[in-house]
Amino acid sequence: MPSLLAAQCSVAARGRAVLMGLVIGFVIAGCGGVTKTVGAPTDASMTALHSSGRDASDTGPAPVEEGELYDPWERFNEKMFAFNQKMDTYVLKPVAGGYRTVVPEQLMIMIDNAFRNITWLPRFVNSLLQGKWEGALREVSRFVLNSTLGFGGLFDPGKYAELQPSKEDFGQTLATWGVPPGPYLVLPLLGPTTVRDGVGRGVDGAMNPLAYTTPFIWDRLSLQVGDTVDDRALNYDLFEGVAESTIDFYSAVRHFYLTRRQQLIKE
C-alpha cells in the first residue's frame, strides 16, 4: 500500500510539474490576460464552496442557528476577504483560464480524480472517529477499486459502483465531540473557516499521505498549487454573477459557509 501511494504521488508530482510549466509559460507568453468573464466567481465564493465540501448540485443549507454567527474579527476578516477576491481576479482566474486552454477537460478530471484518491485517508479516519462505519468502509472500497481498476485513481469506477466519497473532516469530528466553532475567520488564500475548522484543517493536512510520500516541501507546494489551479479551472464559471448581484457579499459568504458547515455536521 505505501509503495502504491508513493508511485501515485510521484506520477502526480511529475505530471503536475509539467502541466504547471506549460501553463505558466503560456501565461507569460501573453495568455495571462485571459478575457475575464463578466460576473466571474471570486475566490471568496469558491473557497466557501470547497472548504465546506459542497458540490455544485447541492441544495442550499438550512438557516444558521442563533449563536453560531460569531465574528469578532470582522474588520480583519473583511480585509482578508477583499485580498482573496483580488488574488482570484488577478492571479488565480487568469492562470486557471490559461490552464483550461492548454489542458483538455478530461485530463483535468483525471488529475482531480487522482488527487481525491490519494487523499482518502483523512476522510476514512474522520469517518471512524465520528462512528460512521459505512462511510469508512466506502472510503476503503473506493480507494482499492480506483487504485486498481481506475489505474492509480486516474479514473473513478467507484462512482459507477455508487461509492461516493464522504465529506468528513476533522473540523466536523471536533464538532461531534462537542467542541464549539469559535470565531469566524477568513484566512489569506485559504478563505473562510472558524477556529475549530482551522485546527481541523491542520490535522487533516497532517494525515494527508502526500505529506509523507512527497519528501520535499517544494514538491508538496507545487502539488498544492497545481491542485488549486486544476480545481479552479474545473469550476471556472461557478457562481457566475453572484458577487455582482449581492449587496453585501462578505456577509453572504459568511452566512453560506457557517450554515453549510452546520448542515454537514448535522448530517
pLDDT at 61: 45
pLDDT at 126: 97
Of the given ranges (77-81, 109-113, 207-211, 243-247), which has the lowest mean pLDDT?
A: 243-247
Decide: helix, strand or coil at residue 46.
Answer: helix
The DSSP letter of residue 33 is G
| Beta bridge partners of residue 192, listed in sequence order | 186
| Whether residue 36 has pLDDT greater than 70 | no
pLDDT at 64: 54
Q: Where are the domains of the chain?
A: 2-33+40-55+68-266
Which whole number is the average pLDDT over 96-114?
A: 91
- Reported as a single tens digit per residue, the pLDDT across 184-207 is 999 998 899 999 999 999 999 899
pLDDT at 65: 52
The DSSP letter of residue 165 is P
Residue 99 CA to residue 229 CA, distance in Å, equals: 8
Residue 193 CA to residue 219 CA, distance in Å, equals: 26
E strands within the chain? Answer: 184-187, 191-194
Which has the higher per-residue pLDDT, 28 or 232?
A: 232
**Contacts of residue 50, Cβ cutoff 8 Å, sequence gap at least 6:** 191, 231
- Reported as a single tens digit per residue, the pLDDT across 202-235 is 999 899 887 776 655 655 566 677 778 878 787 7
Which residue, among 206, 49, 53, has the nearest Cα to 125 in the 3D structure? Answer: 206
Element containing residue 27 per DSSP (H, E):
helix 2-28
Share of the chain above pLDDT 90, in %: 45
Q: Please provide the DSSP assignment of 47-110 as one string.
A: HHHHHTT--TTPPPPPPPPTTT---TTHHHHHHHHHHHHHHIIIIIHHHHHHHHHHS-HHHHHH
Q: What is the number of other CB atoms lying within 10 angstroms of the CB of residue 254? A: 23
Taking a C-beta distance cutoff of 8 angstroms, is the pair 46, 235 a contact?
A: yes
Residue 93 CA to residue 34 CA, distance in Å, equals: 9
Residue 223 CA to residue 230 CA, distance in Å, equals: 10
pLDDT at 54: 44
Q: Which residue has the cell 477499486?
A: 145
Q: At what angle do helices 2-28 and 93-102 cross, to 10 degrees?
A: 100
Taking a C-beta distance cutoff of 8 angstroms, is the pair 105, 220 a contact?
A: no
Residue 131 CA to residue 263 CA, distance in Å, equals: 17
pLDDT at 220: 59
| Whether residue 33 has pLDDT greater than 70 | no
pLDDT at 56: 42
